[in-house]
Structure 1
Amino acid sequence: RSAGVSKAHDPRHAAKMFKSAQEDKTGRWLAIHFTSHDNPHISRDALEELIQDMSKQSYRQEILAEDDEIQLSWLVYRAFNERTNKIDDFEIPKNWLVYVGHDFGGANPAALFVAQDPATGNFYEFKEYLPGAGHSTAQHVDMFKELTTGYSVIWRSGGSHQEGEIRQGYSSHGWPIVEPKINSVKAQVDKVVGTMELNKVFIFKSLHNRLTEVMNCLWAPDAEGIPTDKIKDEEKYHLSACARYLYCNFTPDTVVHNKSRTSHSMSM
């Protein structure tokens, strides 16, 4: 059992709590912000010694306590508005279109099920699949079909360019999966973020793993602590990979109302 260690899934949990306390009008909370320089219990000599070896980013976060905006800038999917786009579950109408994003791997296979409202073009992530190791392709397919019973699955996308053999294996079991239109991870992320910026992506509250990934996925820092265009610990974010593999097939700026689906250049 650990003591004094936060188990919050959101890396900005403390910052959000502090901001909420600052805005509180009930008088219940007193929110005080101060830097390490203002702390009378910290040795000035020790502080100066620590600062000498710190990057500018670390100095701002750890000494000046400016982690809120900095952490926000590190988030890969900061365009996702948790307040408005994390929504209560509801039954997906049978006439909505369903898409599935896949991330392969014997130990950590994943799938993300996304429905699209044909009237608005909005996407609703409604099921996540993280079964763990020890399942055959046939078993995965059986579960996919069970999860989508009664729905029209019109598009399945996933895997890297090198994983064509795995896609063929799923196709032979009656679950055809196509290679994503874009192979660059950064370009895939741009597509996801672009769709989120249009307020087109909604995630059911029951998708705990997916939401945890969205709130924790960060850009890897360079030697100076500045965010790069590489995802930190990218291999951990299997559902995010599913989303990348799926949304990269769509063009965000062509999402329009009163269309049967979001426009993209690939035939269905």
Structure 2
Amino acid sequence: MSSDVRFTDFKSDKQPTWCPGCGDFGTMNGMMKALANTGNDPDNTFVVAGIGCSGKIGTYMHSYALHGVHGRALPVGTGVKIANPDLEVMVAGGDGDGYSIGAGHFVHAVRRNVDMTYVVMDNRIYGLTKGQASPTSREDFETSTTPDGSKQPPVNPLALALASGASFIAQSFSSDALRHAEIVQKAVEHDGFGFVNVFSPCVTFNDVDTYDYFRDSLVDVADDDDYDPTDREQAKDAITDADKEYMGVLYQDENSVPYNERHGVEANKADIPDGAPEGAMDLVREFY
């Protein structure tokens, strides 16, 4: 790891094709700053993404990267980290990618507590497919496919994470650049699965959950001297508060033991051979 790396070292030469004003720009910048601030560099960083607007992030960041399939970024990231624990693994997703088809993987990644970071760009809509209701959309949110609203309560990803046994739960806002980078950095530094839900407004298809809405409504738990993120009951009250939306580190288990460090895990891992088995390439050539 390098001590003099800058966040710009994580920028690739590919220009983002997100809509002008998209919250994902700020989300990605915060991720890069967090990686640089924790002493990581592109040579020891692996970014995994799924499908959706967030899925492009591995192309725009200079690091090892894999663009997977819809909802499957977390199992890929888990495999990468277990195979090579020395890598800093960051998984990026969206609310549709992570909390719909990927919800099952989310639950098990949380409870497994592999030492990696999961950043979800939550814009409360399906942006890449032109504006359908997502799992986190409001019940009365009108779209082309739900003209009278979805008539379903939105998923609360923070509550889902807490119920699944999360050791680190945070929420940030892509437009609050310094605070967002700080929150992601704490997730990276956490020993275990660091989960950050990021409000990342879609300026093209969501005219309800806007930058102004989040600026006016978000409450930062860091401004409350009595808030203790290690208190699970206090975190539960904040996460399930129907009248307020919070940002900051909402819960952290300071005694978290990452999956790789649990007793017996290393002893039961299969040996991964260096290179292809002898004769493997001859077999491939013969087959094709």
The TM-score with structure 2 as length reference comes to 0.26
Q: Point out which structure has higher relative CO (alpha carbons under 8 A, 6+ apart).
A: 1
Which structure has the larger Rg?
A: 1
The TM-score with structure 1 as length reference comes to 0.28
